[in-house]
Amino acid sequence: MKKIKKNPLTAKRKSKILVVDDHPIMRRGLAELINLEKDFVVCGEAESVKSALELIKAEAPDLAVVDLSLKNESGLELIKDIKARFPKVLVLVLSMHDEGFYAERALRAGAKGYIMKQQATSQVLVAIRRILGGEVYLSEAMSSKVLRNFTGEKIINIGSAVDQLSDRELEVFRLIGSGLGTRKIAERFSRSVKTVETYREHIKQKLNLKDSAELTQTAIRWSQSNA
């Protein structure tokens, strides 16, 4: 039987996926998993905000899989940049951080889905397909929480006070909990020590903490409970 050649003009285009993660092993494993699918192709891998934005401009991916913790940078800020500069590029967050604290922030920043890394192998392909199909992807538990918040049913939990923090304040709070001092945090974000001290004061006020020692203790406990 004579084989019929496919017309390249009518053949279905593969969806282009960009992987953004500062861990090379994670990037490579995720890229290999995605490239096994007939309808996907990884068009690039990035480890920083700068390289991610450069690749988006050069490759025009359909979707970017973004980690929230990048080298000295915030994935939330990257998502906001993507939304502002490349509004057609969809974003799926793949993170080690507890979705209870970060998923809604990621959605507000412009992401269309959130997966914790423990679920990556089993759920990332499902999430990518749903988002490319025009849906939002969250775990069942997180979907219920978002819906309750949207309908006005306030959920009271230990982390409710932390929800008052801005995205940058939450990042500073997380880094305090991981053991970093003010100067190191300032270096991470390329900000002045004075700016980070201002963030610390805002955090103390919002969490009703009396001093720096209580701030550090609270941040450490929070980080340990959400590791």
**Per-residue pLDDT tens for 62-77?**
999 999 888 767 888 8
Indicate whether this model's pTM tops 0.75.
no
Which residue carries 């017309």 as its tokens?
7
**pLDDT surpassing 60 at residue 3:** no
Residue 103, token pair as written in the block: 């998923």
The CA angle 41-16-141, to the nearest 5 degrees, is 95
**Per-residue pLDDT tens for 106-118?**
998 999 999 888 7
**Cα–Cα distance for residue pair 113/92, rounded to 1 Å:** 5
Average pLDDT along the chain: 83
How far does CA 159 lie from the centroid of its chain?
Answer: 19
Which residue carries 């923090």 as its tokens?
165
pLDDT at 68 (0 to 100): 86
**Per-residue pLDDT tens for 123-172?**
899 999 999 999 999 876 666 555 555 555 444 343 567 878 888 888 88
What confidence tier does 61 reach under pLDDT thresholds 50, 70, 90? very high
Q: CA dihedral in degrees (111, 58, 75, 141; nearest 10)?
A: 30
pLDDT at 154 (0 to 100): 43
**Per-residue pLDDT tens for 167-223?**
888 888 888 888 888 998 888 888 889 999 999 999 988 888 888 888 888 888 877
pLDDT at 30 (0 to 100): 93
Query: What domains, with CATH codes, occur in the chain?
Result: 15-149 (3.40.50.2300), 158-225 (1.10.10.10)
**Cα–Cα distance for residue pair 66/59, rounded to 1 Å:** 16
